[in-house]
Structure 1
Amino acid sequence: MTATVPPPPATAAGAGRPPSGSAIARLWRSVRVPLVLMTALVVVAVLLSLGTEQYPEGYLEPESVSPDGARALVRVLEQDREVDVVRSSEDAEDALAEAGEDSVLVVFLDHRLLPGELDSLAALETDTVLVQPTLRSLEAFAPGVDVTGRADPDETLAPLCTMTEAVAAGDAEVGGELYGAPEESGAVGCYPAGSGEALIRVDDGTSTTTVLGTGAPLTNTELDVEGNAALALNLMAAENVVWLRPDPPQQEGSATLTELVPAGLRWSLVPLVAALGLLALWRGRRMGPLVPESLPVAVQAAETTRGRAALYRSRKARDRAALAMRTGFLDRTVPKLGLAADAGEHAVVSALAARTGDDPAVLSALLHPADPDPFTADDGALVRLADELDARSRRLR
Structure 2
Amino acid sequence: MTAPTATGAPATTAATSVTPTARQTWTRARGIVLALVLLAAGALTLAVLRSNDQHGRLDPRSADPYGSHAVAAVLADHGVTTRVVTTLDDARDAAGPDTTLLIATPDLLTRTQQTRLHTATTTSGGRTVLVAPDTPSVGRLAPGVTADPAPSFDTALAPGCALPAARRAGRAETGGIRYSTTAPDADTCYPYDDLPTLLRLPQTQGGDTVVLGAPDILYNDRLDQQGNASLALQLLGSRPHLVWYLPSLTDDSAAPDTGERGFFDLLPSGWLWGTLQLFIAAALAALWRSRRFGPLVLERLPVAIRASETVEGRARLYRKVNARDRAATALRTATRTRLAPLVGVPATRAHTPETLLPALSAHLDGAGAAQPLHDLLFGPPPGDDAALVSLADRLDALEREVRRP
TM-score (norm 1): 0.49
Please identify the structure whose Cα radius of gyration is greater: 1
